[in-house]
Structure 1
Amino acid sequence: MSAALVVLSVSVGAVPIPPGDVLAVVAHHLLGTTAVPDPITDQIVWDIRLPRALLGVLVGGSLAVAGTALQAMVRNPLADPYVLGVSSGASLAAVAVLLSGVAVGGAPVQIAAFLGALAALLAVSLLAGARGTLPPLRLVLAGVALSYALSGTTSYLIFASDDPQAAQSVLFWLLGSLGPARWESLGVPAAALVLGCGWLLARAPALDAMVLGDEPAATLGFAAGRLRRELLVVSSLVTGVVVAVSGGIGFVGLMIPHLVRLLTGPTHARLLPLATVVGAGYLVAVDVVARTVNAPVEVPLGVVTSVLGAPVFLWLLRSRMRADR
């Protein structure tokens, strides 16, 4: 499904390209056995649209993985990098570096975004913690409050910038975009996704136990405190790398794990791979919508995902509040 969506994404645009020509260009570059339709089509497909579609795969899969990890860590389906303020922390740190003139996706931006995400998640944990526990509702409320504070600080940095053009570019990037995608920008997000998802799959039994609570996890031989610290680092790393290359894209990490969980159940050995695939396909499809719904003007990805994700969040919140009564 994700592969078909990638081909569709590459085909759709200001210059429509038949799927057969897309496959011909890819086969030419990978196998060297098929002639390209023409140089312009080759450039559009290989240099512009295919890296963008593949970045969408990596970003969507990474956000779904990070959301799955955070939901297991706090035992709350309302958790995701956006709601808990992790994306806002990464965005604030990345914007501070970007306004100094560093290119999107560069190593300094990625490092800053990772540290910002980690700091935000630690701050939320400290604010919501009570006697060594993380009450779900307090965690969500602390995350929302911190997210607003960090977003306000980010807006101030953009407003106070001495370079209006740079500030406008950063503002558009902050709302989420795959436009800056290039082949050289795919390596780090791909490595973060593979390492993060691989580590989580290896720890799938521990994640299953953690969802039951700290005491049941300890009874089964898993150290919940240590696992929670590891999840902090992994989710912050994956989220920080994603924010550095695509800006702030909300609700993917909330929606996808929950919807996939309805199909697979709570077992993380099944949940993680399918959530990654569905998240990848979802963001590629959202990017197609963002590029075409108001063509030729591109709508930021974060706008589309928020419109789609906010009703799901409210539904989950209402369901959670009923369950807690």
Structure 2
Amino acid sequence: MLRLLLRSTVTLVLSALGGSLVIFLLLRALGGDIATSILGVSADPASVAALGAELGLDRPWAVQYLDWLAGFAQGDLGRSYGLRYDIAEVIGNRIGVTLSLAFFAMVIAAALALFFGSYSAINAHRRRGGLVSAATQLGLAVPTFWVGLMMISVFSIQLGWLPSGEYVPWTESLWGAVRSLLMPVLALSIPLTAIFTRYVRSAMLDVLEEDFMRTARAKGRTLHGAIGVHGIRNASISLVTVGVMQLGVLIAGTVVIERVFSLPGLGDLVVSAIGSREVLVVQSTVFVILLIILCLNFLMDISYGLLDPRIRDAEREASHV
């Protein structure tokens, strides 16, 4: 297990460094003069040059990159070019919204997928199992933003049950935060649930044919009891795998949902910064989102070792060799 932890940590650090370099170079390669976009095309060259020097845009790219990375490691992300706000402070105020959306959407989708995927596998040759499969196809086909708009139309405008475009921090009101995030989380979790359910169903069908399931049944356990004790855990390995694959899709989905529900998250910050050509804000925010994805990948890798004893045995044998 220690070997797996060390290897995953090294992978996390190297991926973060490589990702930071790619983000920095891509944003610089887009071209355009940031100082000119701030002052306007009618500004005189001297003013543009002075602002560029003040912002450090006249330095070599390598120096800018290393300074940004060093500042990031110290928690100093600098100030935005135009509005001059502290980037670290703004990201700190907004990251909780994005993490809340992603975390609760993932948890709800995983829980529902384990139930519906197992139910569909048990009833694979019955009509109700086919209905679950048909529902997952529908969930995959429906766009997340459309689901969000329909929820706003029904539950906010027509029924008035839930707020739209209003975020209440967790520290201010627990119930208010739940109400403000309920529709966005559900809108995010619907396509995830559909994807996860298909994988859980496939994994559960394989698990039902395993020898240990037949042994559990022979010892007197019911089918549902054997699935609850042995099947869910083994099917969860497949769920962890597809969960890692869908992390990028999930974070990208939060960007759309934050715009639909006017939530002050990282996705909304990136879109606003792109519109005002705040390169440093986009650069730092995208890197924070990348770090979130990498850290979740790291936790998923560790989860493999906890869920699957075969991985721990393989790591133990490799360390002895």
TM-score computed with the length of structure 1 as normaliser: 0.31
Q: Which has the higher contact order (CA 8 A, sep 6+)?
A: 1
Between structure 1 and structure 2, the one with the greater Rg is: 2
